[in-house]
Amino acid sequence: MKTWVYIDHFKGEALPASWEAISAAKTLGDSITAVIFGSGVEQLAKTAFEFGADEVLLAEDPALENYRAEPFAATLSKLATEHSPDVILLPTSTRGRELAGMAAIDLNSGVLVDVIGLEVDGDKVIATRPIYAGKLLEKTVCSAKPQIVTLRGRAFPRPEQQSGKSGTLTKVSAETEAKTTVEGYTTAEGGVSLTDAGVVVSGGRGTSNNPNLTPPDGLDEKEAEIWRAQQGFKLVGELASVLGAAVGASRAAVDAGYIPYAHQVGQTGKVVTPDLYIACGISGAIQHLAGMRTSKVIVAINKDADAPIFKVARFGVVGDLFQIVPALTEAFRKKLGK
Amino acid sequence: MKIVACIKQVPDSAAKVVAEDGKVSWGESPLVINPWDEYAVEAALQQKEAHDGEVIAISMGGESAKEALKHALAMGCDSAILISDEALTGVDTAGTAQVLASAIQKVGEVDLAFFGRQAIDGDAGITPAQTARVLGWPMLGLSAIINVDGGSAKVERSIEEGRQTVSASLPAVLSVVKDFGEPRYPSFMGIRKASRAEIPIWSLADLGIGAPTAVVSWPEIMNPASREVTCEIIQGGTPDEIADKLADKIIAEKVL
């Protein structure tokens, strides 16, 4: 199958899932073409070759400096019309979803979104994707071409990078008509991105549950609760830092104002599939489990032995997170030599 | 100002959803307005209040979806339209976008069309962008802060890397994320008004379009492999002892 991989990037830095898509492309057969749009991003072509692309289509134009849906979709659709790929793979990012959806309209085709498994059947791909936040899986197909597929991050392995490997670089022209103007960015606080993280440490309601802490004077009841929770999340953050992990949270913790929404894991937050997920003071509501139950190893630390989180956990500690989490941080610090 | 809020009815997020005979079953759980769409309705109502406009809630679905529309009416939408047609069974997101775009055009002179970020059943999250593409309108997706002024909209979009500030002329399609702020609860008066509301049903013939051809299909629905996990409870005399054992267990799993 003639497979394209769209390399999604932010200011020239590719999302890891862009390279993972090259791994997925290798399972579909013959030639792999990486498609790269932007301005001053030729270095991404070099990396795409090293990860296994045979060819790169590079559209560079000042109008493509910032991602904007309309010119990016129009450029992708124009190229696909000219070259007729069988499959276009994109990472399931905010940009990938939008771009895939719009290109599908232009090309009278369809999108298989947030796919975690691919099989080949003749010239068709059969994709497996979670629905209902992973409570179910569906096998889905697209009867038109190109079959546009967005791939969930970490669902496919990162390909091996062969330094110095090269291929055919073809420069192509861009469609530049845009309906939106990008006025600027506020970048997120640093730290590891939840959806790309190999390890996630999350906190829940239990983070506010330390009666031994005395909040500073002058806080009302709600402010005192949030202050307590922030001390709890500080411990969660320290454990995350020793493990190079991202910090997650339950919806209860987000709704109570303990931590910003960007950290929410679950059905109405982010879906994560790390190798290790440590849930601290999270009871494990069905909506939370939906966002993390496919993690490879789940560890639960909770006071309540009957909490549902223990039903999906490989290891559990029935205890106070304010005692266990700092002790665990210290234990890892010693054992991992940090 | 004329504003549309597109909503969907879905099984409650707390539902235990399983596959039975290849079909999705959510047991006795209620069908509700898609939680993300409540943010879209809230954003639409705030624009209505700021610009002296009206909000029309639109949903595509079966007769039961009227209940989701009534929730939107109870929150404060002025009117609601249900698009329902047997020929829409098995429609894909692109087809849904064609239908919603036709409905928005039939409503006429719409300045803003709001969507939630995705529906919690299919989880695709591409219908808003596809609807914008069909309409040829700008897409302001995943908006967390929305300012509409003098025929244009400026939004802060919530993206992986933080926030992106983008502006566009109206009419435009916007999708709204949770950062936008909590949706209001239906008021008592609103609930009374909604319970008496007559919701018109538009068929494909009313929209003047044929049935869209679905190119995406989902021949198989499965329950995920059950995770055979037995939770090993780590015990010990002191927190340090427990932590030490737990750290060794985790390291032995080779996940670090």
Range of the structural domain that residue B62 is part of: 2-207
Query: Do A326 and A216 fall within a single domain?
Result: yes
Are A238 and A137 in the same domain?
A: no
Q: What is the DSSP string of A241-305?
A: HHHTPEEEE-HHHHHTTSS-GGGBBSTTSB----SEEEEES----HHHHHHHTT-SEEEEEES-T
Instruction: Evaluate whether residue A187 is within a structural domain.
Output: no
User: A183: which chain B residues are within 8 Å (Cβ-Cβ)?
Assistant: 154, 165-167
Interatomic CA distance for residues B85 and B201, integer angstroms: 9
Q: Total domain count for chain A?
A: 2
pLDDT per residue over A163-190, tens digit each? 999 999 999 999 999 999 999 998 776 6
The pLDDT score that the predictor gives to residue A335 is: 96
Among A102, A132, A242, A323, most B C-beta atoms within 10 A, so best to mutate, is A132
Where does a domain end: A172, A206, A239? A172
Contacts of B157 in chain A (CB under 8 A): 94
**Shared domain check, A13 and A158:** yes
Supply the pLDDT for residue A190: 63
**In terms of domains, do A79 and A122 share one?**
yes
Q: Single out the residue in A172, A206, A221 at which a domain terminates.
A: A172
* Same domain for A318 and A219: yes
Chain centroid to Cα A30, Å, comes to 27
pLDDT the model gives residue A195: 86
* CATH number for the domain that contains residue A90: 3.40.50.620
- Per-residue pLDDT, A189: 66
Element spanning B216, H or E: strand B216-222
Residue B30 lies in a domain: yes
Instruction: With respect to residue A184, please indicate whether it lies within any of the assigned structural domains.
Output: no
CB contact under 8 A, A136 and B216: no
Q: Has residue B129 been placed in a domain? A: yes
* Position A25 pLDDT exceeds 80: yes
In a domain, A123, yes or no: yes
Assess whether A100 and A68 both reside in one domain: yes
The per-residue DSSP string of B80-105 comes to: EEEE--GGGTT--HHHHHHHHHHHHH
Chain A residues in contact with B255 by the CB 8 A cut-off are 198-199, 275-276, 296-297
- Cβ-based neighbours of B204, under 8 Å, separated by 6 or more: B85, B87, B88, B99, B210, B211
Position A205 confidence tier, pLDDT thresholds 50, 70, 90? very high
Position A30 pLDDT exceeds 90: no
In a domain, B214, yes or no: no
Note whether B159 contacts A327, CB cutoff 8 Å: no
Closest CA to B166 of A135, A7, A68: A68
**Is the minimum CB–CB distance between B86 and chain A shorter than 8 Å?**
no
Say if residue A14 is in the same domain as residue A120: yes
Q: Is the pLDDT of residue A68 over 70?
A: yes
Domain count across chain B: 1
Residues A97 and A165 in one domain: yes
Residue B150 has a pLDDT of: 87
0.90 surpassed by pTM = yes
In a domain, A327, yes or no: yes
Claim to verify: residue A154 and residue A205 sit in the same structural domain: no
We report the CATH number of the domain holding residue B87 as 3.40.50.620
The alpha carbon of residue A11 is apart from the nearest alpha carbon of chain B, in Å, by 10
Q: Which domain holds residue A298?
A: 194-335
Q: Over 90: is that where the pLDDT of A259 sits? A: yes
B-chain residues near A143 (CB < 8 A): 215-217
Nearest residue in chain B measured CA to CA from A271: B123
Question: Domain check: are A208 and A324 in the same one?
Answer: yes
Find the CATH number of the domain harbouring A251. 3.40.50.1220
Quick check: A70 and B138 CB within 8 A?
A: yes
Q: d(Cα B21, Cα B197) in Å, to the nearest integer?
A: 37
- A188 found inside a domain: no
Q: What pLDDT band is residue A4 in, cutting at 50, 70 and 90? A: very high
The reply to whether residue A268 touches residue B239, judged by beta carbons under 8 angstroms, is no
B249 at interface of A, judged by CB pairs closer than 8 A? yes
* Domain end position, chosen among A102, A137, A172: A172
A270-290 average pLDDT score: 95
B164 touches chain A (CB under 8 A): yes
The reply to whether A151 and A202 lie within a common domain is no
Whether B52 has its CB under 8 Å from any CB of chain A: the answer is: no
pLDDT value, residue A255:
93
- Determine contact, residues A293/A271, Cβ cutoff 8 Å: no
Q: Chain B: residue nearest A127 by CA? A: B218
Report B:195-224 residues touching A (Cβ under 8 A): 214-224
ipTM above 0.85, yes or no: yes
